[in-house]
Amino acid sequence: MYFNEKAECMTKEEKKVYQSENLVKVVSRVYNNVPTYRAKMDEIKLKPSDIKGIDDIWKLPFTTKKDLRDNYPFGMFAAPREEIVRLHASSGTTGKLTVAGYTKKDIEIWSEGCARALAAAGAKKGTIIHIAYGYGLFTGGLGMHYGAELLGATAVPVSGGNTPRQIMLMKDFGAEILCCTPSYAIFLADEIAKMGLTPADFNLKAGIFGAEPWTAEMRHEIERKLNIKAYDIYGLSEISGPGVGAECEYHTGSHINDDFFYPEIVSTDTLKPLPYGERGELVFTTLLKEGMPLIRYRARDITALDDSPCPCGRTGMRIARIKGRSDDMLIIRGVNVFPSQIESVLISCDARISTHYHITVDRVNNLDVMLIEVELQPDVAFDEVKAVESLRKKLEGDITSAIGVNAEVKIVSCGSVRRSEGKAVRVTDKRNFD
């Protein structure tokens, strides 16, 4: 089922014309309104008039998270401040948030992306949609919410947490579509089973899961445990939020809404564009956004593009399941975590702690868990267990409030964190996304 058949099934030729027209417009918009873009383009002597169509996109400079950080909070905005009707933010590498600003039209585009995702999963007017993504600065909850309303479906803005209440509402309201992170879906399924309920007690037909990498095994597990069809959804707040792309009923990768967001894959080594099918770093250019348009934004997700025809009829280019990142960002239970955020807590938290640490991420019972081993300074010793425990609790509290997700801390003696030559290996990710 389509939300906007004309747009979603546009022919390749039509789309190219559409993308070209809008690329020219957005380049001129950022050049004239965002000093960072003007400087970037001037530096390589590129004029907006040099960009005549989508085939010229490779000439444009990249945008990185660092650009957003350097322009915190509103420096990347290309619309007058008073035209911004919404602000969202996600965590950045240094504890500083990455801000996104939306005009009314941006919210419409974003909502349409989510509405398309919902329609592809079978939602229509009146479908009850249980939205268990967090509502707030995180884009997950509100993105799907606006998409559901645009579609004319019935949104249940339950947000995260309070699992027994979630289960009761899902059951009593007869939700047909569940939106949450895949790991939370499995957690929900297990809690449902523990309560002695079965899928037959619910009216669930499909689920739209995203905000964190997941595996084919997890998909099968969710589908089996909840007796639903599971759909992947892709997005990032810098580009808009959820609904940058989503799967159709054929599950052969997420269709990018490439009339809104133009995807490229570049080599992680040379940053040169790669042909379709080759794996590299995903890069997006927002073609229609006004508030914070981004040119060739490096999403840091590793995937490949597939432009082969899909039996569903949609012409949006598909991305393969995300296999990893080209930076050190970790996605823990849907939350972006950078090792540098943890490091800055360790530097300031307690003088007894050194900055040697190691993060181990694992998935236990389908929930992400993070263990941070922290080394003591050489001269520090304790003669009481409770002193170690209180230091550990203090660190756990400070780290959890800095990164927004629970972390387990283990205090270890000096010298026991593995040292490596050259770049320190700070993270072991035992989760397997293949």
Partner 1 sequence: MFIHQIAVFLENREGRVRDFSKVLADAGVNILAMLVADTQEFGILRAITDNNAAAVAALKTAGFNCAETEILGFEVADKPGEMYKVLEILDGAGININYLYSFTRSSKKCAVILIKVDDNKKAAEVLRKHGITLAEEDIL
Q: Which residues bind partner 1 (CB under 8 A)?
A: 376, 378-386, 388-389, 410-416
Per DSSP, what are the bridge partners of residue 280? 303
Task: Report, in Å, the least distance between residue 378 CB and partner 1.
Answer: 7
| Residue placing its CB nearer to partner 1 in the complex, 269 or 383 | 383
Task: Report, in Å, the least distance between residue 413 CB and partner 1.
Answer: 5
| Residue placing its CB nearer to partner 1 in the complex, 203 or 360 | 360
| Residue placing its CB nearer to partner 1 in the complex, 50 or 389 | 389
| Of 258, 257, 275, residue with least CA distance to 266 | 275
Task: Report, in Å, the least distance between residue 384 CB and partner 1.
Answer: 6
Task: Report, in Å, the least distance between residue 392 CB and partner 1.
Answer: 9
| Residue placing its CB nearer to partner 1 in the complex, 216 or 414 | 414
| Residue placing its CB nearer to partner 1 in the complex, 47 or 418 | 418
Residue 391: both structure tokens together:
């230091």
Task: Report, in Å, the least distance between residue 382 CB and partner 1.
Answer: 6
| Residue placing its CB nearer to partner 1 in the complex, 320 or 412 | 412
| Residue placing its CB nearer to partner 1 in the complex, 195 or 388 | 388
Task: Report, in Å, the least distance between residue 364 CB and partner 1.
Answer: 16
Task: Report, in Å, the least distance between residue 406 CB and partner 1.
Answer: 17
| Residue placing its CB nearer to partner 1 in the complex, 238 or 375 | 375
CA angle at 308 for the pair 305 and 309, rounded to the nearest 5°: 130
Task: Report, in Å, the least distance between residue 425 CB and partner 1.
Answer: 19
d(CA 69, CA 71): 5
Task: Report, in Å, the least distance between residue 363 CB and partner 1.
Answer: 21
| Residue placing its CB nearer to partner 1 in the complex, 308 or 416 | 416
Contacts of residue 31, defined as CB under 8 A and 6 or more positions apart, other chains included, come to 37, 38, 41, 48
| Residue placing its CB nearer to partner 1 in the complex, 81 or 386 | 386
| Of 106, 111, 103, residue with least CA distance to 4 | 111
Please identify which residue in the block is written with the tokens 């997890």.
218
Q: Torsion angle of alpha carbons 160, 409, 66, 79, nearest 10°?
A: 20
Per DSSP, what are the bridge partners of residue 284? 263, 297
Task: Report, in Å, the least distance between residue 298 CB and partner 1.
Answer: 39
